[in-house]
Amino acid sequence: MPLNRRNVLLAGASLPLLASCASPLSNPARIAQLATQPVDEVAQTLGVCSAAYAVLRGGKLVDSVPVSGCSGTQPSGEVIFQAASLTKPLVAYAALLLVLDGTLDLHTPISRYLPQGYVHFHSVLKRAAGDAHDVVPPDVLARLTVAQLLQHASGFPNWSSGALKLETEPGSRWGYSGEGFMLLQAVLEAVTNTKLSVFVEQRVFAPLGMANSSLIWHEGLQARAVRGTTRLGLRPMVQFEHAVAAASLYTTAGDYARFMAALLQNDALLALTIAKPIEVDAALGLQWGLGWGVEEAAGGPYLWQWGNNPGFRAFAMASVTSKDGFVLLTNHDAGMPLAAALAQKFLPAEHKVFQFPWVA
C-alpha cells in the first residue's frame, strides 16, 4: 500500500464511522462500566498492548502511568507514541505564542505571509522540491486568515492528494482540515524563517522540558517507540522525515501533559484559545477554538482533541475551570474507548464528545 495522505492519516469522516460501528463509545452504560475497572484490564479487553496516560490537577502534572493489556516485553522507560492529531493543538500553541508577541496576526490575510502562493505537496511523506505538488495562488490565500486555519474553518478538505481547492467559503463553517494546518505550517516557517521542527523545539519542547518529543523521526526515538496496531496486526514504523503540523508528533504521555500544563497555566493564551469558538455540533455541545475543540458540559468548558493515525489512537481533555485534565496515548486502533473511560475517572461528566463521529 503506498504511503500517501490517504493511507498514512485519517482521510475522511467515513473511516471513523466505520471504526465506531462496534465500539463501546456508542454505549454510555458500557463506558461507565469500563471506568470502574482497572485501566490495564480495560486495555486487555480492548486488545490494546501499549498505552500510557498522564493526569493533571489544577494545571499541574501529577501522574504518568504506563498501561499494558498484553503480556510480553515493553520498551524500557517512558514509551514514545505517534500522537497523530494531538500535534495540532501543540502547533497552535506555538502559533499563538507568536500572536501574543506580535509576530503573527490572527486576522491578516494569509497572502501577506505567503505573497508567492502556497506550495502544497500531494504526500505528507514526500515534501522535497521535486515531489508532486501544486501552488495555491495568492488570490485564494487572500481569503484566508490564521484564525480560520486554527478553527478548521478554512474551507479546505481534510486531505487532498491532488490540487488543493476550497470546498466551502472560508470562515463560513467548521470542517476538519489537516490541509489547513499544513498551510499554517508554511505560514509559521515563513514568519520565523525556520523549519517547523526546529521552531517548535526552540519555543515549546526545550522550554517545557519535553525531552522525549519531536516532530520528525530520529534514531534517538527507536529504543522506546512502539509500532501501531490494527485488526490486521502490527504496522510498519512510520518515520516522518519532514514535520507535519497536522500529525507527526512523537511524544510520551508525560511530555504532552507538560505542554497541556503550560497552556492551562498561561491565562492570556488560554483566554485567547477559547475566546470566540465556532459551532461544530450544537446537539453535542461542541465548538472549536483556536487549536482545540471546546465541549460544554458540567465542570467545563473542556478543551479536547482526538488523535487517529493508522494503528494509534490518542485523546487529550482538560477543564478550563478546574484545570484538571488527562492525555491518553495508545498503539491500537481500538484505543478510544479507553479515553472515554479515563474521562469518567478524572473529569466525571456527561461527555458527549465521545458521540462525535470523528472521535473513534
* Residue 6 pLDDT: 45
Instruction: Tell me how far apart the terminal alpha carbons of the chain are, to the nearest angstrom.
Output: 23
Question: Cα–Cα distance between 35 and 340 in angstroms, integer?
Answer: 8
Sequential DSSP letters for 67-116:
E-SS-SPPPSSSPBEEEETTHHHHHHHHHHHHHHTTSS-SSSBGGGT-TT
C-alpha cell at 10: 485519517
Question: Cα–Cα distance between 104 and 97 in angstroms, integer?
Answer: 9
The answer on pLDDT for 18 being more than 50 is: no
CA distances 248 to 61, 276, 294, 309, 347, Å, are 23, 27, 23, 9, 28
Res. 344 pLDDT band, cuts 50 70 90 = very high
314-334: pLDDT as tens digits: 999 999 999 999 999 999 999
Question: Cα–Cα distance between 5 and 122 in angstroms, integer?
Answer: 7
* Residue 74 pLDDT: 65
* Residue 76 pLDDT: 63
Indicate whether this model's pTM tops 0.85.
yes
* Residue 193 pLDDT: 98
With a CB cutoff of 8 Å and minimum separation 6, the contacts of 111 are 138, 139, 141, 142
> 141 lies in which domain range?
5-355
DSSP state of 239: -
With a CB cutoff of 8 Å and minimum separation 6, the contacts of 89 are 263, 291, 292, 303, 305, 316
- Which residue in 48, 77, 97, 11 sits closest to 315, CA to CA? 48
* Residue 162 pLDDT: 97
The answer on pLDDT for 73 being more than 70 is: no
Cβ atoms 176, 152 nearer than 8 A: yes
Residue 109 lies in a domain: yes
**C-alpha dihedral over 131, 137, 138, 139, to 10 degrees?**
-160
Mean pLDDT for all residues in the chain: 92
* Residue 153 pLDDT: 99
177-219: pLDDT as tens digits: 999 999 999 999 999 999 999 999 999 999 999 999 999 999 9
The answer on pLDDT for 1 being more than 60 is: no
Residue 360 lies in a domain: no
Question: Cα–Cα distance between 202 and 298 in angstroms, integer?
Answer: 37
Domain count, the chain: 1
What CATH number should be reported for the domain holding residue 240?
3.40.710.10
Residue 191 lies in a domain: yes
104-155: pLDDT as tens digits: 999 999 999 999 999 999 998 899 889 999 999 999 999 999 999 999 999 9
Q: For helices 267-274 and 253-265, give the axis angle rounded to 10 degrees.
A: 90
The answer on pLDDT for 33 being more than 90 is: no
Residue 259 lies in a domain: yes
C-alpha cell at 33: 462500566
SS3 category, 121: strand
